[in-house]
Amino acid sequence: MAATTDIQTLFEAGAHFGYARARRHPSAATYIFGTKDRTDIFDLEETERRLEAARAFVASISGKGKQVLFVSGKHEAVGIVKEAAERVGAPYVAGRWIGGTLTNFKNIRKRIDRLQKLMSERESGELEKYTKRERLMIDREITELLGRFGGLVKMAELPAALFIIDTRHEDTAVQEANQLSIPVVGLSSSDCDFSLVQHPIPGNDTSVRSIALVTNLLAEAYAEGKKVATVEKVQPANK
């Protein structure tokens, strides 16, 4: 992987700040360096190690031609997650998690297929056969489906892993992933239950700078893995 991070970069992004000591989840204790002014401070050496391990894991997933689903509905993270995922061609949920996205994926996929069908018909001009009112209703349906499932269009099957900003905030996504034994990579602050996250990145999950740093590093790792998968897929044909 081309880029790495270091403790100074994490510090400058404010990744070391957790929540007030009173909000600390017991499972977060091992990642805490200390407390200052009643605020938990993460051990950035541990954060750095966990971040690099998470990046290696994400790269290994995309390197096998599998997908990682990027997830966050926090207003601080929505734009960052959407932009990063779209940049590297990863599926994403940037907004409210729809219950059953994983555990009822068969039916969710039907809604995505419906969205793709309507968009294809609109682009090809097939909707011209309908009345103006009918086209208006279809346009509204497309807008609604895009808002709910637009980031999942490229996800033909269940993802091999999830990358989540704030695993406490996205507890339903975490529960669904755990139920299906899908590994979770999570940027998790001190109020999160780390026992539910297979690849935790302990750090500030509220600061825009911290979120952007971690998300972009994970996205880059995903892109690097995809390059490896592409090369390995092409090479046999050249022999």
Whole-angstrom distance, CA of residue 59 vs CA of residue 220 = 9
Per domain, the residue ranges of the chain are 7-102+158-238, 105-151
Residue 237, pLDDT > 60, answer no
- The string of pLDDT tens digits covering residues 49-63 is 999 999 999 999 999
Q: Is the dihedral of CA 41, 29, 68, 96 positive or negative?
A: negative
- Tens of pLDDT, residue by residue over 147-204, are 999 999 999 999 999 999 999 999 999 999 999 999 999 999 999 999 999 999 999 9
Task: Tell me if 7-102+158-238 shares its fold with 105-151.
Answer: no
pLDDT at residue number 44? 97
Fold of 7-102+158-238: Rossmann fold (3.40.50)
Smallest CA-to-CA distance from 154 within 201, 73, 208, 88 is with 88
Per the prediction, the chain carries an average pLDDT of 93
Query: 127 or 46: which carries more pLDDT confidence?
Result: 46
The answer to whether 81 touches 165, Cβ cutoff 8 Å, is yes
**8 A C-beta contact, residue 18 and residue 28:** yes
* β pairing state of 32-36 and 184-188: unpaired
Is the pLDDT assigned to residue 233 strictly greater than 80?
Answer: no
User: Which amino acid belongs to residue 11?
Assistant: F
- Taking only the tens place, the pLDDT of each residue in 117-129 is 999 988 888 888 8
Domain 105-151 in this protein, CATH class: mainly alpha
pLDDT band at 238 (very low <50, low <70, confident <90, very high): low
Six-digit token string for 160? 């091999």
Q: Specify the pLDDT at position 31.
A: 97
Contact 54/184 with Cβ under 8 angstroms?
A: no
